[in-house]
Amino acid sequence: MAAINRDDVAHLARLAHIEMSAEELDRMAGELAVIVDSVKSVSEAAGDDVPATSHPIPLNNVFREDVVGHTFTAEQALSGAPDSFEGRFKVPAILDED
Protein backbone atom coordinates (compact mmCIF):
# COMPACT_ATOMS: atom_id res chain seq x y z
CA MET A 1 0.00 0.00 0.00
CA ALA A 2 1.35 3.44 -1.00
CA ALA A 3 2.23 5.63 1.95
CA ILE A 4 0.06 8.77 1.69
CA ASN A 5 -0.37 10.36 5.06
CA ARG A 6 -2.58 13.17 6.23
CA ASP A 7 0.26 15.73 5.90
CA ASP A 8 0.78 14.78 2.26
CA VAL A 9 -2.88 15.38 1.55
CA ALA A 10 -2.82 18.70 3.39
CA HIS A 11 0.23 19.72 1.36
CA LEU A 12 -1.42 18.80 -1.93
CA ALA A 13 -4.61 20.57 -0.93
CA ARG A 14 -2.66 23.75 -0.24
CA LEU A 15 -0.82 23.55 -3.57
CA ALA A 16 -4.10 23.04 -5.38
CA HIS A 17 -5.82 25.81 -3.38
CA ILE A 18 -8.51 23.40 -2.14
CA GLU A 19 -9.95 23.97 1.28
CA MET A 20 -10.42 20.67 3.12
CA SER A 21 -11.88 19.89 6.54
CA ALA A 22 -10.15 17.67 9.10
CA GLU A 23 -12.49 14.78 8.24
CA GLU A 24 -11.85 15.18 4.54
CA LEU A 25 -8.10 15.10 5.07
CA ASP A 26 -8.38 11.89 7.07
CA ARG A 27 -10.65 10.23 4.54
CA MET A 28 -8.58 11.32 1.49
CA ALA A 29 -5.35 10.02 3.02
CA GLY A 30 -6.80 6.50 2.85
CA GLU A 31 -8.51 6.95 -0.53
CA LEU A 32 -5.51 8.51 -2.26
CA ALA A 33 -3.32 5.60 -1.22
CA VAL A 34 -5.71 3.23 -2.94
CA ILE A 35 -5.82 5.40 -6.07
CA VAL A 36 -2.03 5.57 -6.26
CA ASP A 37 -1.82 1.81 -5.91
CA SER A 38 -4.35 1.34 -8.69
CA VAL A 39 -2.41 3.59 -11.04
CA LYS A 40 0.77 1.77 -10.12
CA SER A 41 -0.66 -1.45 -11.53
CA VAL A 42 -0.22 0.08 -15.01
CA SER A 43 3.55 -0.14 -14.67
CA GLU A 44 3.19 -3.82 -13.80
CA ALA A 45 1.24 -4.43 -17.01
CA ALA A 46 3.84 -2.71 -19.23
CA GLY A 47 6.86 -4.86 -19.96
CA ASP A 48 10.38 -3.68 -20.80
CA ASP A 49 9.44 -3.63 -24.47
CA VAL A 50 6.87 -0.87 -23.94
CA PRO A 51 8.53 2.56 -24.04
CA ALA A 52 7.41 5.24 -21.62
CA THR A 53 4.88 7.50 -23.25
CA SER A 54 3.31 10.81 -22.34
CA HIS A 55 0.95 10.90 -25.27
CA PRO A 56 -1.44 8.28 -26.60
CA ILE A 57 -1.34 9.41 -30.24
CA PRO A 58 1.83 8.65 -32.23
CA LEU A 59 2.20 12.16 -33.61
CA ASN A 60 5.06 14.60 -33.48
CA ASN A 61 6.08 18.00 -34.85
CA VAL A 62 2.60 19.44 -35.09
CA PHE A 63 3.55 23.01 -35.88
CA ARG A 64 1.95 26.27 -36.86
CA GLU A 65 3.57 28.74 -39.28
CA ASP A 66 4.50 32.05 -37.69
CA VAL A 67 1.59 33.99 -39.19
CA VAL A 68 -0.58 36.39 -37.20
CA GLY A 69 -4.16 35.22 -36.73
CA HIS A 70 -7.14 36.56 -34.85
CA THR A 71 -7.14 38.54 -31.63
CA PHE A 72 -9.75 39.81 -29.21
CA THR A 73 -10.44 43.45 -28.51
CA ALA A 74 -9.75 44.47 -24.92
CA GLU A 75 -13.53 44.59 -24.36
CA GLN A 76 -13.91 41.00 -25.60
CA ALA A 77 -10.93 39.84 -23.55
CA LEU A 78 -12.37 41.39 -20.41
CA SER A 79 -15.98 40.38 -21.03
CA GLY A 80 -15.80 37.48 -18.62
CA ALA A 81 -13.61 39.16 -16.01
CA PRO A 82 -15.11 39.56 -12.53
CA ASP A 83 -13.47 43.00 -12.36
CA SER A 84 -11.45 45.22 -14.64
CA PHE A 85 -9.93 48.69 -14.83
CA GLU A 86 -8.66 50.66 -17.82
CA GLY A 87 -8.50 47.71 -20.17
CA ARG A 88 -6.86 45.40 -17.68
CA PHE A 89 -7.97 42.58 -15.42
CA LYS A 90 -8.26 43.70 -11.84
CA VAL A 91 -7.25 41.13 -9.24
CA PRO A 92 -6.83 41.23 -5.48
CA ALA A 93 -3.34 42.05 -4.25
CA ILE A 94 -1.58 38.81 -3.57
CA LEU A 95 0.86 38.96 -0.72
CA ASP A 96 3.48 36.47 0.36
CA GLU A 97 4.29 35.60 -3.22
CA ASP A 98 6.31 37.41 -5.83
Partner 1 sequence: MSTDAILSFEEAMEKYDPVLGFEVHVELNTKTKMFSSAPNVFGDEPNTNVNEVDLGMPGVLPVVNKTAVESSIKIGLALNCKIAESCRFARKNYFYPDTPKNFQTSQYDEPIAYDGYLDIELSDGTVFRVEIERAHMEEDAGKLTHMGGATGRIQGADYSLVDYNRSGVPLVEIVTKPIEGAGSRAPELAKAYVAAVREIVKNLGVSDAKMERGNVRCDANVSLRPHGRERFGIRSETKNVNSLRAVEHAVRYEIQRHAAVLDSGEPVIQETRHWHEDTRTTTSGRAKSDADDYRYFPEPDLVPVLASREWVEELRATLPEPPAARRKRLQADWGYSDLEFRDVVNAGVMDSIEETITAGASASVARKWWMGEIVGRAKTADVDPSELGVTPETIVELNKLVEGGKINNKMASQVLDGVLAGEGTPAEIVGKRGLAVVSDDGPLLEAIDAALAAQPDVAEKIRGGKLQAIGAIVGGVMKATRGQADAGRVKQLILERLGVEG
87 binds partner 1 (CB under 8 A): yes
Span from 1-9, 18-26, 27-35, 84-92 in contact with partner 1 (CB under 8 A): 84-92
**CA–centroid distance for 17 within its chain:** 11
User: Is residue 42 at the binding interface for partner 1, with CB under 8 A as the rule?
Assistant: no
Compute the least distance from the CB of residue 26 to partner 1, in Å.
Answer: 21
Q: Name the minimum Å distance from CB 71 to partner 1.
A: 5
Measured CA to CA, the distance from residue 66 to residue 61 in angstroms comes to: 14
Query: Among 19, 22, 65, 82, which residue sits at the site for partner 1 (rule: CB under 8 A)?
Result: 65
Determine which residue in the list 44, 48, 67, 82 makes contact with partner 1, applying CB under 8 A. 67
Give the other-Cβ count within 10 Å of 33's Cβ.
Answer: 17
> For residue 90, what are the contacts with CB-CB under 8 A and spacing of at least 6?
81, 83, 84
Based on the shown chain and the rule CB under 8 A, indicate whether residue 70 belongs to the binding site for partner 1.
yes
Half-sphere exposure of 54 (CA within 13 A, CB side): 1
